[in-house]
C-alpha cells in the first residue's frame, strides 16, 4: 500500500494508518490521492480523497477536539448508517471507525461525496438567475425534511437515539437554563434580549395539544443542505451534529424561521437572500403537507420555538466573546441576529 503524503494534513490525518484501516474494512486498495479539504461551516474536519478508483469524504474532529466531539461523530455515523437505505436525502456512510486511538484521538467515518453546492457559500448562475429555481430549491428542502420525519426510527434500531418523552414540554425550560448558564462567562452581564420573557411565556402557555416523535435533523437551515448544480433538487441534508429523536415539526419551524427573508437566513445564505424569490411560510407548510400526515395546526408554535432556540444558541457565542473566548466582532454579529430572531418571533405571537 502506497500513500502520497500531502503537506499540512499529516498533522491531523495519519494517511498510512488510514490506508491500513481501509484495507481491514475490505475497501479497494491503492494509493491515497487527490486530497482536498472541504468547507462547511461546522467545527469538524472534512477531507475528500480518492483511493482504488473510488472517491471518499472523511469526517473527523479537528486537531483540538471539543469534549463531546467523538460522541457526536459516533452518533452521526450511526444515524447516517441507519438512514442509508431509506429515501432520506443524506450522505451515504461507507464505513465508520469508533476507535479514538486509530487516527490521532478522533472517531471518523467515510462517506460518499455529494455532487452539489451549498447555498451558504455559493449560488450558481442557473439558481442566481431564475426565481422559480430558487423557489423550488426551498420547497425541495421542505420535502426532504418531511421525508426524514416520516421514517420509522424504531424499525431502524434508533429507539434509544434520543429521549422523545416530554421533548416538546421541556424545550423552553431547557433552553432558558442554557441561557442562564452563559453567566459563567466573565464580563457577560446576562442576556439583553428584547421579547425574551414574552416569547418564553407564550411558548409555555401554547404547547401543542399532541405530537408524534420522529427523527430530527436539528439544524435545518439552507446552509446545512446541498443542491444539484443543474436544477433545484436537494442533493443532501448535511451536518447532523444536532440530530435526535424529538418532534420533526421543529425542523419545519426551523426552516421557516431561517428563511432567507429573515435575519438568520440572510446571514447564512446571503446570496440567496439578496436574490429573493423564496416561498412564503404558508407555501412551505402547504408543501410539507403533501408528504406528511402530521397535524400542522400549531406550526406557528414550532416556528417561534425555532427562533427562540436558535437565538439562545447564538447568544452563547456572544457570551464567550465577552469573556475573550471568541472574536468580539463575531459575537456582536450573532447577538444582533439573536435580537432580530426574537423580534421576528414576537411578531408571530400577534
Taking the CA atoms of residue 223, residue 226, residue 231 and residue 232 in that order, the dihedral angle to the nearest 10 degrees is: -50
Confidence band for 10, pLDDT divided at 50, 70 and 90: low
Confidence band for 86, pLDDT divided at 50, 70 and 90: very high
Cα 203 from Cα 126, distance rounded (Å): 40
pLDDT, residue 321, reads: 95
Give the pLDDT mean for 195-211. 97
- For 93, the enclosing helix (H) or strand (E) is strand 93-97
Cα 148 from Cα 141, distance rounded (Å): 11
Please give the grid coordinates belonging to residue 325: 473566548
Confidence band for 240, pLDDT divided at 50, 70 and 90: very high
Residue 5: pLDDT over 70 = no
Q: What value does the mean pLDDT of the chain take?
A: 92
Cα 33 from Cα 50, distance rounded (Å): 5
pLDDT, residue 210, reads: 93
Q: What percent of the chain has pLDDT over 90?
A: 85
SS3 of residue 265 by DSSP: helix
Give the pLDDT mean for 187-215. 96
Confidence band for 11, pLDDT divided at 50, 70 and 90: low
Residue 266: pLDDT over 50 = yes
pLDDT, residue 41, reads: 46
Cα 145 from Cα 121, distance rounded (Å): 21
Per residue, what are the HEC states of 166-215?
A: CHHHHHHHHHHHHHHHHHHCCCCCCCCCCCHHHHHHHHHHCCCCCCCCEE
Residue 327: pLDDT over 60 = yes
For each of the domains in the chain, give its residue range(s) and CATH number, in order of start: 9-111 (3.30.200.20), 125-347 (3.90.1200.10)
Residue that the C-alpha cell 491503492 belongs to: 30
Cα–Cα nearest to 135, from 220, 40, 231, 217: 231
Residue 149: pLDDT over 80 = yes
Residue 289: pLDDT over 80 = yes
Please give the grid coordinates belonging to residue 270: 446571503
Give the pLDDT mean for 95-106. 87
**DSSP per residue over 14-62, as a string?**
-HHHHHHHHHHTTPPPS-BEEEEEE--SSSSEEEEEEETTEEEEEEE--
Cα 117 from Cα 236, distance rounded (Å): 10
What own/partner pairs with CB < 8 Å and gap ≥ 24 does 28-37 have? 28/52, 28/53, 28/54, 29/1, 30/1, 30/2, 31/1, 31/2, 31/3, 31/4, 32/3, 32/4, 33/4, 35/6, 35/9, 37/9
pLDDT, residue 74, reads: 95
145 in Cβ contact with 299 (< 8 Å): no
Cα 258 to Cα 270, 308, 309, distances in angstroms: 12, 12, 12
Residue 84: pLDDT over 90 = yes
Q: 342: exposed, middle or buried (C-beta count within 10 Å: 0-12, 13-18, 19+)? A: buried
Write down the pTM of the prediction: 0.92
220 in Cβ contact with 144 (< 8 Å): no
Using DSSP bridges, classify how beta strands 108-111 and 54-60 pair: parallel, antiparallel or unpaired.
antiparallel
Q: What angle do CA 201, 307, 204 make, to 5 degrees?
A: 20
* pLDDT tens per residue across span 43-72: 688 899 999 999 999 999 877 777 788 999
Give the pLDDT mean for 329-333. 95
Amino acid at each position: 500500500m502506497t500513500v502520497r503524503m500531502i503537506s499540512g494534513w499529516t498533522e491531523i490525518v495519519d494517511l498510512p494508518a488510514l490506508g491500513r484501516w481501509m484495507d481491514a474494512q475490505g475497501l479497494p486498495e491503492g494509493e491515497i490521492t487527490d486530497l482536498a479539504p472541504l468547507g462547511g461551516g461546522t467545527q469538524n474536519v472534512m477531507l475528500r480523497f480518492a483511493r482504488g478508483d473510488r472517491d471518499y469524504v472523511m469526517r473527523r474532529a479537528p486537531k483540538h477536539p471539543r469534549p463531546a466531539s467523538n460522541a457526536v461523530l459516533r452518533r452521526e455515523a450511526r444515524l447516517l448508517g441507519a438512514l442509508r437505505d431509506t429515501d432520506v436525502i443524506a450522505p451515504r456512510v461507507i464505513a465508520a471507525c469508533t476507535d479514538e486511538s486509530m487516527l490521532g484521538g478522533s472517531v471518523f467515518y467515510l462517506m460518499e461525496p455529494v455532487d452539489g453546492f451549498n447555498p451558504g457559500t455559493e449560488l450558481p448562475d442557473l439558481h442566481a438567475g431564475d426565481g422559480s429555481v430558487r423557489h423550488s430549491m426551498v420547497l425541495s428542502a421542505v420535502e426532504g425534511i418531511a421525508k426524514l420525519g416520516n421514517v420509522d426510527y424504531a424499525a431502524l434500531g434508533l429507539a434509544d437515539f434520543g429521549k422523545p418523552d416530554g421533548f416538546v414540554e421541556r424545550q423552553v425550560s431547557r433552553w432558558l437554563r442554557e441561557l442562564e448558564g452563559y453567566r459563567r462567562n466573565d464580563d457577560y452581564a446576562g442576556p439583553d434580549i428584547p421579547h425574551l420573557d414574552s416569547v418564553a411565556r407564550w411558548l409555555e402557555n401554547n404547547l401543542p395539544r399532541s405530537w408524534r416523535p420522529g427523527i430530527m435533523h436539528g439544524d435545518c437551515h439552507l446552509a446545512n443542505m446541498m443542491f444539484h448544480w443543474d436544477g433545484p433538487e436537494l442533493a443532501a441534508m448535511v451536518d447532523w451534529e444536532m440530530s435526535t429523536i424529538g418532534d420533526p415539526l421543529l425542523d419545519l419551524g426551523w426552516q421557516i424561521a431561517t428563511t432567507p427573508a429573515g435575519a438568520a437566513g440572510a446571514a447564512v445564505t446571503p446570496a440567496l437572500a439578496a436574490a429573493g424569490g423564496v416561498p412564503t411560510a404558508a407555501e412551505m407548510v402547504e408543501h410539507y403537507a403533501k408528504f406528511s400526515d402530521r397535524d400542522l395546526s400549531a406550526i406557528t408554535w414550532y416556528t417561534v420555538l425555532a427562533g427562540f432556540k436558535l437565538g439562545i444558541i447564538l447568544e452563547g457565542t456572544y457570551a464567550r466573546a465577552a469573556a475573550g473566548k471568541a472574536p468580539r466582532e463575531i459575537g456582536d454579529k450573532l447577538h444582533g441576529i439573536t435580537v432580530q430572531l426574537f423580534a421576528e418571533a414576537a411578531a408571530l405571537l400577534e
